[in-house]
A and B are shown apart, each in its own frame.
Chain A
Amino acid sequence: MKTKVLMAILAVVIAGLIAVPWIASYFYVFIFTEILILGLFAASFNLIFGYTGMLSFGHAAFFGIGSYATALVLIHLEWPFLACLLVSMGASALLALVIGFLSVRLNEVYFAMLTLAFGMMVFAIAYQWRSVTNGSDGLAGFTLGSFGLGLDLTLANPSVYYHVVLAIVAIASVVLYVICRSSFGMILKAIRQNPERVSFAGLNVRTYRLVAFVIAGTFAGLAGGLIAPFLRVASPELLHWSMSAEPILMAILGGTGFFLGPFIGSAAFVLLETWITTYTESWMLVLGIILAMMVIFFRKGLLGTAIDWWMEVKK
């Protein structure tokens, strides 16, 4: 019964998302493109944060590297978009393997600091390696060609691009969801609750943390590959440590204990930012107040609180 209602709600939401370009203005097509991409970014982060219990402050490194990879391939090789995304995922997976290998051995605040440090290093490289990254201006002026797979899509059309993003984010989310619900995912949850008990069950906790870190980085890279053509630029801001804070805020806002929490968080974040900035410039102040309220009163996030409330009402 409960699952049926939830499935029905999910179906309506997906149908609504598919229909956005037909029922809403271009403005909201852009808004929802951003929500989906940042939602995937936040969901990938939540695999290591909400599930495995690792608070990384350097997740933007993988998002940013993904955006640069797609931009570079489009500029220099003009490959189909799908191939660009695969390169983005490969590049971020490789980077996550290196950063993860050096970071997952540490716990809690040391892990957080180390990921922050690596994130800043990647930012510094992108900022200063002008011949490749074009420094502070970032890489712009690339155009999307074909999509790949012989599909004839006009990616320059925002509505078409939105649907492509929706499809890719949906597929990636299903894959991430299956990983979260797998035996491997169960071990990740166990590691968050009691890492020592997991090692006494015969598993090398460090290896599992590293694999989770690489998976999360790979999906963040995919999100980065999607954002570059959307923004029409791959700039150092995407790698900046403040960008690493966004998935943390989104995951907490939506609810870290639920797979869809980060997507809800992303939607709340982007929509609130859009609406509030039309009234006042102090968007950050409002966001700060909202976040403080969430952490103090609704620790399960928007989605978690809503589900709790619904369960109560059902009784």
Chain B
Amino acid sequence: MSNPVLTISNLTKRFGGVTAVSDINLEVMPKETIAIIGPNGAGKTTFYNMVSGRMRPTEGKIILDGMDITGLPPHKISRLGVSRSFQINNIFPEMTVQENVEVVLSAYHGHSRKLFNIASRNAAIQQEAVEFLKRLGIDSLKAQRAEVISYGDKRLLEIAMVLATQPKLVLLDEPTAGMTPDETRRTTRLIKKLADSGDYTFMITEHDMDVVFNLADRILVMHRGEKLFAGTPEEVKNHPEVRVAYLGEEEDESVEEAKT
């Protein structure tokens, strides 16, 4: 049995009197895909913000591959192997699609400290950038300015940027939010393919239950900052409390969405 990539113990975040995340414990094993679900305000994004270093936990520990990363700044956590996407598009709008990935690759390979090279002539980085774009199926857009490509393509570009740092753990925050049904299907297929390749360990938050049940090996259900239940998709589907607290309403919604 291999060691967990990520071990989270007693993770808690309080904002003044409000407890956004309360006493979460979680182990993420290598190469698995774990989904975190819960209604709005359940604390998923706060949870992500702590794991990626955007927020400092009030209590608890985050151990990545045996190393304590609790409360480290984002750039250090990224260096140690946690890479995340955001709910909103978080790209470099005035650069080309390919340059967006090149920025991340330059950072990852330490080229960012080179003052006297000509970045646009770095063939190795360019080739690698195109590789990542191919993996997400958006290499045909490489010369476009990132701000003009479609919303769905921007989200895929973001995933390409997240993968470019060869992370031990990939955090995707609602990767299909705001996508059309077509884009959602395409993105789900892509993530599924990446997860099946065995190269990545994914942690995903998502509202779309079809996407969650399609991708996740295990699911953590959060409710009002607390862990409601954790288990396989099957167990979650059949858990009475989860159905009442969350799935019931959501399922109705997703049925309606599917109809439209």
Contact = CB atoms under 8 A, between A and B. Distances in A.
A200 interface: yes
B75 A179 contact: no
Contacts of A178: 115-116, 118
B161 interface: yes
B30 interface: no
B74 interface: yes
Given A199-B75, A200-B84, A201-B161, A190 B118 contact: no
B88 to A, nearest CB: 11
Contacts of B91: 194, 197
Nearest to A186: B119
Interface string B110-147: 01111111111010000000000000000000000000
B114 A201 contact: no
Contacts of A179: 115-116
Interface stretch (B94-102, B183-191, B201-209): B94-102
Contacts of B116: 178-179, 182
Contacts of A215: 115
Interface string B156-179: 000001000100000000000000
A201 B163 CA distance: 10
A183 B83 contact: no
Nearest to B82: A200
| Binding site secondary structure of chain A | helix
A205 B75 contact: yes
Interface string B28-57: 000000000000000000000000100000
A204 interface: yes
Given A187-B103, A194-B92, A198-B107, A203 B118 contact: no
B66 interface: no
A197 to B, nearest CB: 5
A197 B100 CA distance: 10
Contact of B114 (A182, A197, A202): A182
B62 to A, nearest CB: 16
A185 B119 CA distance: 8
B95 A193 contact: yes
B118 A202 contact: no
A181 interface: yes
Nearest to A208: B112
Contacts of B92: 189-190, 193-194, 197
A204 B107 CA distance: 10
Could you say which interface size class chain A belongs to?
20 to 34
A215 B115 CA distance: 11
B83 A200 contact: yes
Contacts of A190: 92, 95, 103
Contacts of B94: 189, 193
A184 interface: yes
Given A193-B95, A200-B84, A183 B108 contact: no
Interface string B66-94: 00000001111011000110000011111
A145 to B, nearest CB: 32
Contact of A187 (B52, B106, B117): B106
Given A184-B113, A187-B106, A190-B95, A204 B75 contact: yes
B106 A202 contact: no
Given A190-B95, A193-B93, A201 B103 contact: yes
A209 B103 CA distance: 16
A202 B115 contact: no
B104 interface: yes
Interface in A161-207: 178-179, 181-187, 189-190, 193-194, 196-205
Contacts of B83: 200
Nearest to A185: B119
Contacts of A184: 112-115
Interface string A199-226: 1111111001000000100000000000
Given A182-B118, A183-B122, A194 B75 contact: no
Query: Which 7 pairs show the lowest CB-CB distances between chains A and B?
Result: A202-B78, A183-B111, A201-B107, A202-B79, A193-B92, A190-B103, A183-B119
23 contacts: A182-B115, A182-B116, A182-B117, A183-B112, A185-B119, A189-B94, A189-B95, A193-B93, A194-B90, A194-B91, A194-B92, A196-B90, A197-B90, A197-B161, A199-B73, A200-B78, A200-B84, A201-B75, A201-B104, A202-B78, A202-B107, A202-B108, A205-B75
Interface of B: 52, 73-76, 78-79, 83-84, 90-95, 99, 102-104, 106-108, 111-120, 122, 161, 165
Given A190-B92, A201-B78, 7 more contacts: A178-B116, A182-B115, A183-B112, A193-B92, A193-B93, A200-B78, A202-B76
